[in-house]
Structure 1
Amino acid sequence: MKIVEHHLVQLAAVIETGGVTEAAAMLGMTQSAVSRTISILEKRVGEPLFVSGRRPMQPTPLGEQLGLQGKAILASSRKAMEIIRSFKSGSFGRVRIGGVPFFMDAVVSPMIASFQHDEPGIMVHQSYGNYSDLVSELESGQIDVAVTPTGSTDLRADQQFEPLLPARNVLACGAGHPLMRKRNLATEDILNYPWVAPLPGSPLVLDLHNILLTLGIEEVSIRYAGGSLMSVLNYLVGTDALAILPLSVAHSFRRENRISVIPLDIPQPQRALGIMTRTKPYSNPAGRKLIGHLRREFSELRRSVEKHEQEIRWAHGPFMAERE
């Protein structure tokens, strides 16, 4: 004996509403179709499913048990429809986002937090990677969106990049570092202190190399390498070491008074930070919502960073000409 699932759904509707007419209206069916279904079920199981002569209709013990199964199917169907509606509206779903470690920790994770404050039904899975890793993960479908620095010549035909923030690096140190008290800096001042190495694969590695070329220095004393953003900050606070950091990262910690920006112009990279996606991504309304939120947050961040940069009293030093 085989029971058809949608027959159980109609049985559950009759039990829930107390009548065939009401159940038909709820399900968008005709009264005759629902009556026919109940008759077919009773013939198939060989037992009555409703007590004769009761209004509203009262199920028999067997009818009640079968109705519970139909109710579960009906609830699952309603839940499935709600999931579909929520997914299409972008209020439910999952977004996988990857990005460069320091920037994700300092800048993007607070943006994700504010996004989920308004969109609690969207799960965000964050991962880390440098540019080449993120390109591969986008291509293979492991992530939906990447937040990364890149130049205009690096882009692939099947991926698109939306620049949101010009890349700008600074020399960072712990608050109260001796160099913060000097009016004019010489090359020797930079050599007298240890340095934190950028993470392997980070574009900051090349940026540090360009700084050393500008100064005519082959190398600096690297005393610390491979740490997370928080460990690098703690190391800077506890030592007289120097590090090259994105200005936006240093800006994120400005209110904590733990690190300082050494006010020297240094060679700047020709790239931008932004959002990278596949040219033809699969449908993900939640992902589009997150990208829209990131655009708004980056716009505000750009204004805040530019204001912070204007407030710094940039000093003439060994790197570049004094600002106009």
Structure 2
Amino acid sequence: MKFDERHLIQLAAVVKTGGVTEGAALLGLAQPAVSRTLSMLEKRIGEPLFIKGRRPMQPTPLGIALAEHGLAMLAASRKASDLMESFRVGKSGVVRVGGSPFFMDSLIAGMCAEFQVTHPDVRIDQSYGYFPDLRAALKSDQIDLAICPIDILDEGSGLAFQQILPGRNVIACRVTHPLLLKRRLQPAHLLEYAWVAPPPGSPLSADLRALLLSFGATEIRIRYSGGSLASVVNYLKAADALTVMPHSVVFAQRKEKTITALPINIPHPERALAILRRVDAPRSPAVEQFSAFIRSGFDNLKHLIKRHEEAVVWGS
């Protein structure tokens, strides 16, 4: 005999609550409809499902056995409903985000952990890349969001971006670097030291070369290159070398008291950190929630950085 799953669920609701009215309310159904279902089941089976005259309603052994199957279906249905509601409001799902290594390691990874405090059922898949790779990943639907420095998008790119942090580069060094003791820093002072090159393909790599050329350097003394953010920081804190980093990345390391920024203004390209996405990408509630959280986090970060900048006397 084949049963209609909906009928078993209604039977389970009545057994669970002890009454037809209560069981109907649990399922959001009308009481007469549930009564008809129970009567139809008993006629079809040819056996009573409840002991007559008992209040609250008491199921027969057969009624209990069938209700157990209905309870399993009811629990699964509730879980599915909860999952759907959680997905609808962005409390569950998957966020695929790619970004520039230094920013992802110093800023975004921590924000991901903070986001999951209130969204523990959202899984975040993080990947690394620079703009060309991230653009390709967005267009091929390998990631939902890209977080990277960008200057301007080509017309008809199919991508949209939201600026989350103005671009500003600084010269990073360890907190005990000799140059921090000089009252008036000059470009010539910086050329006396070796440099750490940013990873190949990074916009910072071109920025470093442009900076040193503007200082009048005829050659670049590179002593270390190709490292991750952690390896560059560890190298800098053990050597009197210099490198170019986004100010926000250096600012994020302030509590570690290992590296800092030389108090000297340097030229840098018109570039901003932005969140990129495909214009025609389907909207995922979890992705929208995550994107809003990142934007809010960077709004707070901008105020902290601005306050810090105003407290430092920057040389030209």
Q: TM-score, normalised by structure 1?
A: 0.88
Q: 1:60 to 1:254 in 2, by over 3 A?
A: same
Query: Map of 1:248-259 to 2, 5 A cutoff?
Result: 248-259=248-259
**Aligned match of 1:8:** 8
Q: 1:220 to 1:100 in 2, by over 3 A?
A: same
Query: Map of 1:15-30 to 2, 5 A cutoff?
Result: 15-30=15-30
Confirm whether residue 283 of structure 1 aligns to residue 274 of structure 2: no
Q: 1:307 to 1:20 in 2, by over 3 A?
A: closer
**Aligned match of 2:181:** 181
- The CA deviation string for residues 234-282 of structure 1, in whole angstroms up to 9 with x for no partner, is 1100111111110011111223321121222222111111211221332
Q: 1:105 to 1:156 in 2, by over 3 A?
A: farther
In the aligned structure 2, how far is the partner of 1:249 from the partner of 1:29? 57
Shift of 1:15: 0.7
In the aligned structure 2, how far is the partner of 1:190 from the partner of 1:52? 94
Q: State the 4+ residue runs in structure 1 displaced beyond 6 angstroms.
A: none
Contact 1:172 1:244 (8 Å CA) reproduced: yes
Shift of 1:129: 1.7
**Aligned match of 1:198:** 198
Shift of 1:187: 5.1
Contact 1:50 1:59 (8 Å CA) reproduced: yes
Shift of 1:32: 4.1
Query: Map of 1:1-324 to 2, 5 A cutoff?
Result: 1-154=1-154, 157-185=157-185, 189-315=189-315, 322=316
Shift of 1:13: 1.2
Contact 2:101 2:128 (8 Å CA) reproduced: yes
In the aligned structure 1, how far is the partner of 2:31 from the partner of 2:62? 23
Shift of 1:81: 1.8
Shift of 1:233: 0.8
**Aligned match of 1:319:** none
Shift of 1:121: 4.1
Q: TM-score, normalised by structure 2?
A: 0.90
- The CA deviation string for residues 98-128 of structure 1, in whole angstroms up to 9 with x for no partner, is 2111112212233333333344443333322
Moved more, 153-162 or 231-240: 153-162
Shift of 1:46: 4.9
Contact 1:138 1:144 (8 Å CA) reproduced: yes
Q: How many residues align?
A: 316
RMSD: 2.3
Shift of 1:219: 3.4
Shift of 1:155: 6.6
Q: Gapped runs of 5+ residues in structure 1?
A: 316-321
In the aligned structure 2, how far is the partner of 1:29 from the partner of 1:293? 39
Secondary structure of the residue aligned to 2:237 is helix
- The CA deviation string for residues 49-107 of structure 1, in whole angstroms up to 9 with x for no partner, is 33344332222223212211111111221222222222222333332222111112212
Q: 1:27 to 1:184 in 2, by over 3 A?
A: closer
1:167 counterpart letter in structure 2: G
In the aligned structure 1, how far is the partner of 2:17 from the partner of 2:267? 74
Moved more, 133-142 or 8-17: 133-142
**Aligned match of 1:318:** none
